[in-house]
Structure 1
Amino acid sequence: MTQPEHALGLFGGTFDPIHYGHLRLAETAREALGLERVRFIPAGRPPHRGTPGASGTDRLAMARLATADNPAFEVDPAEVDAAQASFTILTLERLRLALGPHRPLVLLLGVDAFLGLPGWKRWTELFDFAHIAVANRPGYSLDAAQMPTELAALTEQRQAAPNALETRPHGALVQFAMTPLAISATDIRTRHSAGHSLRYLLPPPVLDYISRHQLYL
C-alpha cells in the first residue's frame, strides 16, 4: 500500500526584506498544520505592488540566509529567475507538475491576502492545485460578512479541519492561529533609510547582508 505523502507549505511574498514576522508565520504553520517542510518563494516581479526596494537576486539571497538554520525551510528561486510576472496560479501549476499529483500542497496566506483573492489572476482555480491555509490572530476566524459574495461562498464550501490536509492533495481551506509580530518590511526599509537600528527585527545574517550591499538607503 502506498504511504501518503506529507504536506508541503508554500509561502510566497516579496520578502523585501525577509524578517522575523515571515519566519514566525512559517514556523507556526509548520507546527499547527503538520507540514513536513515550508518552501519560501520570493516573487520576481510582483504584479500587485510596486517595484521592490531590493533586486530579486538580493531578496533571494536574504531569504536563503534567513532560512539556512532551519532544516524544515527551503527556498525556491524560480520566480526570481523567471522573466514573467509572479502570478501564484502559474507557480502552483509549475509545482504541481514538478511534484506530481499526490503531494499535498498548502498555500500559506495572511488574512488580508486571502480577502484580496478576487483580485488575483485565475483565483478560483487555486484550489485545483493546492489547499489554502489562512493565518488568523488567536481567537479570530474568517468572517463571511467581510468578504465579497463569491469568496464567502467558496469559503463556506471549502472549510476543513487542519487534519484534512494530508488526506487529499488540494482543495481545502483551513485556518490556524498566528500571534502577529508588529514587524513590517515597509517599516524596516523606512527605519534603515532614516539611519535607525534594525537589530532584533530580522536575522543577523540578513542584517549583515543589507549593510554589506547598502540596500534600502
Structure 2
Amino acid sequence: MIGIFGGTFDPIHYGHLRSALEVKEIFNLTQVRLIPSAQPPHRLQPLASAALRLQMLELAISNQTGLVADDRELKRVGQSYMIDTLQSLRHDFPQQSLVLFMGSDAFNTLTSWHCWQDLFTYAHIVVLTRPGFVIQALDDFFATRLTTQKQILAAHKAGKLLFQSVTQLDISATAIRRCIAEGKNPGFLLPDVVITTIKQNQLYQIN
C-alpha cells in the first residue's frame, strides 16, 4: 500500500512528519508520498516558492526511509486538484492500494472538493483524528464505504473510508510563519535543516 499526504508544506513541520511516520507503521505502508500543492483551490496560496517548499520537504525527510517527496503537483499547470493527482498516481501504481490521508477538518469540507466522489475510485480515504474523536453520523455515500478493518484496505485498491486516531501535535504552519515574522525562535517545531533553509532564504519575514 502507498500512502498519500497532500498539503502546501509552507513550511513542512513536525506535525506533518509525525503523522506520516505513524501511518506508515500503523498501515504497514511501503511508502508515504508527501505531495506539495502548487495552487491549492481551498486555501490561500503558499508564501514560499514551489522550489523552496520542495527543498525543505526533501531535507526534512532525507533520513526517513519510506517517506518520499513527490513533486507531481508542482509540475502540473493550473489548480492542484486531488482527483488529478490520484489519477496520475493510479497510472504510476496500477496494482497498488492507494491511501489518501487527511485531517478531520479537511474531511468535513470534502464534499466541496472538485469531483470529490470520484476520489474513491482511485484511493481509499483515511481520516486522521485525535484520540477520543467521535465519528458523526455519515450519509449513505460515506456510510456504505466505512470500515474499521485495516486489512480491508490492503485487499482492495480503492473505495473505502476509515477513521484512524494518531498523535496530532498542536503545530501549524501558520503559527510557525507568524513566529518567524515576529523574530521568535521556531526551534523544536520543525527540523533544524528546514529552519536553516528558511533563514538562508529569509522566508516568512515581514516586508
- TM-score of the pair, normalised by structure 1: 0.91
Q: CA deviation at 1:84?
A: 1.5
Q: CA deviation at 1:16?
A: 0.5
Please point out which of 6, 19, 24 is paired with 1:25: 19
Please point out which of 57, 71, 80 is paired with 2:74: 80
CA distance in 2, matches of 1:153, 1:23: 33
CA distance in 1, matches of 2:60, 2:37: 16
1:32-52 deviation digits (Å, cap 9, x = unpaired)? 222111000000111111221
Q: CA deviation at 1:55?
A: 0.8
After TM superposition, the structure 1 = structure 2 runs for residues 34-53 of structure 1, keeping only pairs within 5 Å, are 34-53=28-47
Q: Could you tell which deviates more after superposition, 37-46 or 26-35?
A: 26-35
CA distance in 2, matches of 1:204, 1:141: 36
CA distance in 1, matches of 2:164, 2:71: 27
1:44 aligned counterpart, secondary structure: coil
1:9 corresponds to 2:3: yes
1:158 aligned counterpart, secondary structure: coil
Which residue of structure 2 aligns with residue 90 of structure 1? 84
What's the C-alpha RMSD, in Å, of the aligned pairs? Answer: 1.0
Q: Could you tell which deviates more after superposition, 80-89 or 126-135?
A: 80-89
1:122 corresponds to 2:115: yes
1:111-167 deviation digits (Å, cap 9, x = unpaired)? 0001110110000000000000111111224212xxxxxx63222111111111110
Which residue of structure 2 aligns with residue 198 of structure 1? 186
After TM superposition, the structure 1 = structure 2 runs for residues 28-177 of structure 1, keeping only pairs within 5 Å, are 28-100=22-94, 102-144=95-137, 152-160=139-147, 161-177=149-165
5+ residue gaps, structure 1: 1-6, 145-150
1:181 corresponds to 2:172: no
CA distance in 2, matches of 1:198, 1:68: 20
Q: CA deviation at 1:76?
A: 0.6
1:175-205 deviation digits (Å, cap 9, x = unpaired)? 2111221100000000000000010000011
Q: Percent identity?
A: 41
CA distance in 2, matches of 1:154, 1:57: 38
